[in-house]
Amino acid sequence: MSSSNAAARIETGSAPACPAGGGKTWRLSGDILFHTAARIAAFIAVAVLFATVIAITADSWMAIKSFGVWRFLKSSEWNPVTQTFGAFPFIIGTLVSSAIAMALAVPVSFGTAVFIAEIAPSWIRRPVAGAIELLAAIPSIVYGLWGLIVFAPIFAQIEPWISQTLGEIPGIGLLFQGPPMGIGMLAAGIVLAIMILPYISSIMRDVFMAVPSSLRESAYAMGCTTWEVAWKIMLPYTRTAVIGAMFLGLGRALGETMAVTFVIGNSDMISSSLLMPGATIPSVLANEFTEATTRLYLSSLIYLGLILIAVTLVVRFLAVLLIRRLGSREGAST
Cα(256)–Cα(278) distance, integer angstroms: 15
Torsion angle, alpha carbons of 200, 205, 206, 207, to 10: 90
Q: Which of 7-21, 98-112, 271-285, 316-330 shows the lowest per-residue confidence on average (mean pLDDT)?
A: 7-21
Cα(202)–Cα(210) distance, integer angstroms: 13
Report pTM.
0.84
277-310: per-residue pLDDT in tens? 999 999 999 999 888 889 999 999 999 999 999 9
Cα(151)–Cα(142) distance, integer angstroms: 12
Output the pLDDT for position 1: 43
Is the pLDDT at 334 greater than 70? The verdict is: no
What are the φ/ψ torsions at residue 15 (nearest 5 degrees)? Answer: -70, 155
If you classify domain 61-333 with CATH, what class do you get? mainly alpha
6-64: per-residue pLDDT in tens? 444 444 444 445 455 455 666 667 788 888 889 999 999 999 989 999 999 999 999 99
Cα(146)–Cα(120) distance, integer angstroms: 29
Cα(155)–Cα(146) distance, integer angstroms: 12
Please give the radius of gyration of the chain, using alpha carbons only, rounded to the nearest integer: 26
Is the pLDDT at 245 greater than 70? The verdict is: yes
Q: How many CB atoms lie within 10 A of CB 135?
A: 16
